[in-house]
Amino acid sequence: METRSKTIEELNAELEELQHQLFEANETIDAIRTGQIDAIVVQDQYGPQLYSLRSADQAYRVFIEKMTEGALTLNKVGIILYCNSQFAHLVGKPLSNVIGIPFVDLVVTKHKKSFQDLFQRSWTKDSRQEIALKAGKDSIVVQLSAAQLEFDDGKTMSMIVTDLTAQKKTQELLEDTNLQLARMNHALEMSNHDLQQFASVASHDLQEPVRKILIFSNLIKERCNEDIPKECGQYIDKIVGSAARMKTLIIDVLNYSKLSANQKEFHSVDLGAVVEELLEDFELIIKEKNAMVTVGNLPTIEVNKGQIRQVFQNIFSNALKFSKEGIAPVIQIKAKRLKEKSFSSSQEANGPFCLISIKDNGIGFDEKYRNQIFALFERLHSKDSYEGTGIGLAITKKIIEKHNGLVHAKSHPGGGAEFLLLLPIEQQNE
């Protein structure tokens, strides 16, 4: 029988028909995947047959296809029956090269056993596992969340694959940052310790020459008073005054450096008794200035008694020092319990925090300097007008912070000042 050769026109026609069929097949597959159809009709030797897609709920299929995580189903032997496009993208393969292969083929060698254990467990209970999958020439760390699904025609396994790459990078960055912070904290602690030691030694060493300056300056005045010209006597007075201020400054620096030590010895202390002791110490200057001091009911709280006494002493001393000329100082000390650690917190009879107010009628200050006054060596007035080293309120702030509290100042020029101390009633064990 003689075979006739096909013409170019006939071959082109067949090619066009095949391309058309392929296009229709791809359209049909895409429609099934995206939930556009729930059944198809196939013409065979027995006539048209209706095949219903029982699991083809449109919203569900669209959701699975559009989700940002990989989704797939496996049969009893671990063959991939279905996967969405995201999973194929994760492993760097075309969708057609993923469906129908064993899932274990996509697992890196060292994690194959972990996957097999997960696969066996997941037929009886929902399971999760971190493993690494092959992704082209690289690998990615993912979390597998597997669960058994049961249908009329048998059981399959549903698996959600979450890419942990970004999470792992963030975790590594966080661990690296924490490590750097730990190193910096250690270096800072060592530096603080060295500075504390330096301040302590320097303060002690500096006190001796200052003490000698004071002693010998006073001896010159006492023994050579008649022979010293008036102008030279004034110079000696300035030397004595400067040396006295230097001595006070050294003591304040030493006290401030001691606060850097991590010593937190707290005990229950009656603040009323602390203030009463303090008023006895200031008795002479209170009488000299004809000051009026009123003290409300102060609570018993957990503090370091020596340090908290210094806080009251510093603020009380400033209230007497910065009084208005010709006007008797009026100082009010009171306290109330608060519900929260906030200056705007509501009052509560047995609240866990205590707000102490120390208010005076002195010269006050501009509130734009309310943070500046707590800085080390910061002064708002010249040393010629008011004595002091500019360390007192810095020490006050540091002590309050070591007591896990807050300090705040309110004032305006000529209107007096109010210092607010917010402290916990009980210190938390750290």
Q: In the chain, what are the domain boundaries?
A: 8-51, 67-163, 169-262, 263-430
Is the CATH number of domain 263-430 3.30.565.10?
yes
Phi, psi of 337 (to 5 degrees): -90, 140
Cα 139 to Cα 343: distance, rounded to the nearest angstrom: 54
Per residue in 107-127, pLDDT (tens digit) is: 999 999 999 998 999 888 888
What class does CATH assign to 169-262? Answer: mainly alpha
What pLDDT is recorded for position 354? 94
Question: For 14-32, what is the mean pLDDT?
Answer: 62
Q: Is the pTM of this model over 0.95?
A: no
Give the β-pairing of 330-338 and 292-295: parallel
Statement: residue 384 has pLDDT above 50: no
- Over residues 63-105, the pLDDT tens digits come to 677 777 888 888 888 898 888 888 888 888 888 888 888 999 9
What is the per-residue pLDDT for 284? Answer: 85
Distance of CA 73 to the CA centre of its chain: 42
Q: What is the DSSP letter of 149?
A: E
pLDDT band at 356 (very low <50, low <70, confident <90, very high): very high
Summarised one tens digit per residue, pLDDT across range 180-222 is 888 888 877 776 666 666 666 666 666 777 778 888 888 887 7
Of all residues in the chain, what percent carry a pLDDT higher than 70? Answer: 73
Q: Name which residue leads in pLDDT, 368 or 299.
A: 299
3-state SS string over 302-353?
Answer: EECHHHHHHHHHHHHHHHHHCCCCCCCCEEEEEEEEECCCCCCCCECCCCCE
What pLDDT does residue 209 have?
78
Among candidate residues 300, 314, 306, 312, the one with its CA nearest the CA of residue 264: 306
Question: What's the CATH code, domain 67-163?
Answer: 3.30.450.20
Model confidence band, residue 56 (pLDDT cutoffs 50, 70, 90):
very low
The answer to whether the CB of 273 falls within 8 A of the CB of 302 is no
